[in-house]
Amino acid sequence: MARIIVVTSGKGGVGKTTSSAAIGTGLALQGNKTVIVDFDIGLRNLDLIMGVERRVVYDFVNVINGEANLNQALIKDKRVEGLFILPASQTRDKDALTREGVEKILDELSQEFDYIICDSPAGIEQGALMALYFADEAIVVTNPEVSSVRDSDRILGILASKSRRAEQGLEPVKENLLLTRYCPERVERGDMLSVEDVKDILAIPLLGVIPESQAVLKASNLGEPVVLDQESDAGQAYLDAIFRLQGQSVDFRFLNTEKKGIFKRIFGG
């Protein structure tokens, strides 16, 4: 049975798709058979971030409507073994997803995969509800700013009341906080909420802190998940988070401003 993990946030533009791509790719790199499912019907982005946009033939909605089978729609990643992408439809809207249809596809994927990463659209409407309904676990992507934290709080409330686990009275959806676009310099200046501030408000376990990084933008534009860029701080921070997701204990990095060492001062950073 696969672990179904929804990557969600409420607010848009905080890094859900980037995180879905990075975490899915990282899990596959570590030997887990992983599929990333794009639930953002009508605004499909995951295939761009994953660099597979030219290979999309059939999509999620085609499979739900029985116009294609799952194996026709799944795109196999060429870089990482055991990594697949199920793209969203660009021409339809979010009402094309039915609960029965989504359940059938997730059941089928569960037979084959270790991890199913559901990349949720922003908002708290149909699309987002569908993405989180069947989840066993949630990664709540949050930026260290007030509106993002508040939207995350809202989505946590929805996870606790509108997910399948909540409706059927099962063990609740496991919640993880992923803080992205973190900038220690701005926290020190008091322009940005700190890790502690966000943890205090949301009161859920911290999965990872991804520093604000040029590497993320570069990775998106190249269609290479940032986790493949092992030189970058963001890529390393995602890998740490993926270890934690699998139950390992890893120290948090990139939380403080970098102190320039003597060599960096002499030779330049």
For other proteins, the closer CB: 203 or 250:
203
Q: Which is nearer to other proteins, 34 or 148 (CB)?
A: 148
Q: How far apart are CA 113 and CA 208, in angstroms?
A: 24
Which residue in 35, 96, 109, 156 binds other proteins (CB under 8 A)?
Answer: 156
- Binds other proteins by CB under 8 A, chosen from 38, 77, 151, 240: 151
Q: With contact defined as beta carbons under 8 Å apart, do 211 and 178 qualify?
A: no
**Candidate ranges 24-32, 44-52, 106-114, 146-154; the one touching other proteins (CB under 8 A):** 146-154
Q: Is 212 in the site for other proteins (CB under 8 A)?
A: no
- d(Cα 125, Cα 139) in Å, to the nearest integer? 18
* Range in contact with other proteins (rule: CB under 8 A) among 52-60, 86-94, 101-109, 199-207: 199-207
User: How far, CA to CA in Å, does 252 sit from each of 145, 175, 179, 241, 257?
Assistant: 20, 18, 12, 9, 13
What single DSSP character describes residue 56?
Answer: -
Report, in Å, the least distance between residue 163 CB and other proteins.
13
**By the rule CB under 8 A, 203 interacts with other proteins:** yes
Using CB under 8 A, which of the segments 48-56, 86-94, 104-112, 200-208 binds other proteins? 200-208
First to last CA, the chain: 47
154 binds other proteins (CB under 8 A): yes
168 is a contact residue toward other proteins (CB under 8 A): no
Nearest approach in angstroms of CB 200 to other proteins is 8
Tell me how far, at minimum, the Cβ of 154 lies from other proteins, in Å. Answer: 4
Q: What is the CA radius of gyration of the chain?
A: 18
Q: Which amino acid is at 126?
A: Q
- Give dist(CA 23, CA 155) in Å, integer: 20
> Rounded distance, CA 68 to CA 98, Å?
16
Nearer Cβ to other proteins (33/150): 150
Distance CA 252, CA 247 (A): 14
Residues that bind other proteins (CB under 8 A): 150-151, 153-154, 156-158, 160-161, 200-201, 203
